[in-house]
Amino acid sequence: MAEEKYTTQHVAALYDVAIETVRTWSQEFEHYLSPTANPGRRRQRMFTREDMQVFDLIASMKDDGATYEDIHTALKAGQRGQAPGTAPDELQVAIAADDRRAILAENDQLKRRMEMLHQEIERLKQIDRESVRLQTQLEGQTSRAERAESQLRELQIEQAKLHQQIGELRGELKAVLQQFKDRA
């Protein structure tokens, strides 16, 4: 029977660390790990149960605040942690369930965001309708103002004509008064 192998994702899930942390640990503690832990570029890392004992010690010591130097010293002295009690298959089911929960949560978040965007669209549509109404009202008022300006210009022209007639009448009145003075 083939030995069970753990993936980077399994290690990350077991020790609640980022996948990048697992990669860093694999490189830093390469000397204590199997060859499949660092297989080369673009090849998947696979970890044995013995590798998992090394990771358990690393995770435990890091949680306690140990430095990489402290961990190297412990590993050189033959210290190891516990092998996981969970098989890779079981971990994969848990990871898939976590992924499913994360996808469902993200889906719910996207649904809420869509609802907010729909509400925003409706609000903007209402603003647009109000804007069109106000634009129509403004155009009506502008048209009335233009008519009023035209009437005002006509009145100003009539006023100028009346002033001219008044001036002419004053001139005539002056002439009549002068004739009346001259006769008297």
Structural domain contains residue 38: yes
| Domain termination site, one of 60, 86, 112 | 86
Structural domain contains residue 1: no
User: What pLDDT score was predicted for residue 107?
Assistant: 80
Nearest CA to 59 out of 87, 25, 94, 96 is that of 25
Statement to judge: residues 50 and 23 lie in one domain: yes
User: What pLDDT score was predicted for residue 1?
Assistant: 47
Statement to judge: residues 132 and 156 lie in one domain: yes
Statement to judge: residues 80 and 99 lie in one domain: no
CA 68 to chain centre: 38
Tokens of 132: 């069109």
Statement to judge: residues 81 and 91 lie in one domain: no
Statement to judge: residues 32 and 75 lie in one domain: yes
Q: What is the DSSP string of 108-156?
A: HHHHHHHHHHHHHHHHHHHHHHHHHHHHHHHHHHHHHHHHHHHHHHHHH
Q: Which domain holds residue 134?
A: 87-184
Statement to judge: residues 103 and 58 lie in one domain: no
User: What pLDDT score was predicted for residue 56?
Assistant: 96
| Domain termination site, one of 58, 86, 114 | 86
Statement to judge: residues 92 and 180 lie in one domain: yes
Mean pLDDT, consecutive 10-residue segments, the chain of 184 residues? Answer: 82 92 96 94 93 96 97 97 85 72 76 89 92 92 90 91 91 88 84
